[in-house]
Amino acid sequence: MSAPLDFYFDFASPYGYFASLTIDALAARHGRAVTWRPILLGAVFKITGVQPNMHQPLRGAYLGRDTQRWARLTGAPFCIPEVMPLNAVHASRAYYWLAARDTAAARRFAKAIYHGHWAEGRDLGALAAVVGVAATLGLDGEAIAAGAQEPETKQKLRDETDRAIARGVFGAPFIFVDDEPFWGNDRLGQIEQWLERGGW
């Protein structure tokens, strides 16, 4: 089996959410797994000097329209959360703490965070809210709350974000097929073709 795809995303990104709904199945059709790697785009934007899309004049309004249109077209459950952007630091740390112990649980947790924020519109910025999501999955909320605050967990999230920047990630979702970079939920079609053909 070839190397897993690397799926970089920020829980605050709606396009990362859309990609999260289909990327595992897409990869599986071509015998590939996917490594999910939440990062903090805020750190990336400090390098690129770019404002988050939703804060850019003109673009912010379009973003709401485009995401809702995308959701209607694909049938993805979606709403515009009241609190944006999500502060994803606790959710991302909790993810990495879980992923080091149980990758399947971490994957379910990531999907539940995305669903809670982008399908139900909940603000999951607080650690307590993150732990609450984990608890609904039958995970040990107390252990996760403690684990998310361990220095090694915090460092892991920083390392993943730094590594993403070093690989050229400037937005989300950002997906590597081997070393080939694809930016954006709207490149999933090309990723499928890339996997089919082995590049072009």
Contact between 47 and a copy of itself per CB under 8 A: yes
For 132, the enclosing helix (H) or strand (E) is: helix 127-136
The pattern of x and - marking residues 127 through 166 that bind a copy of itself according to CB under 8 A reads --------------------------------------x-
With 0-12 / 13-18 / 19 or more C-beta atoms within 10 angstroms meaning exposed / middle / buried, residue 111 is middle
Strands 180-183, 174-177: pairing kind: antiparallel
Smallest distance, a copy of itself to C-beta of residue 187, A: 7
Q: Which one among 1, 25, 31, 200 touches a copy of itself, defined by CB under 8 A?
A: 200
Element (H, E) at 110: helix 103-114
What's the min distance (Å) between Cβ of 53 and a copy of itself? Answer: 10
3-class secondary-structure state, position 76: coil
Q: Which residues bind a copy of itself (CB under 8 A)?
A: 44, 47-51, 56-59, 61-62, 65-66, 69, 72-73, 165, 168-171, 181, 183-184, 186-187, 190, 193, 200
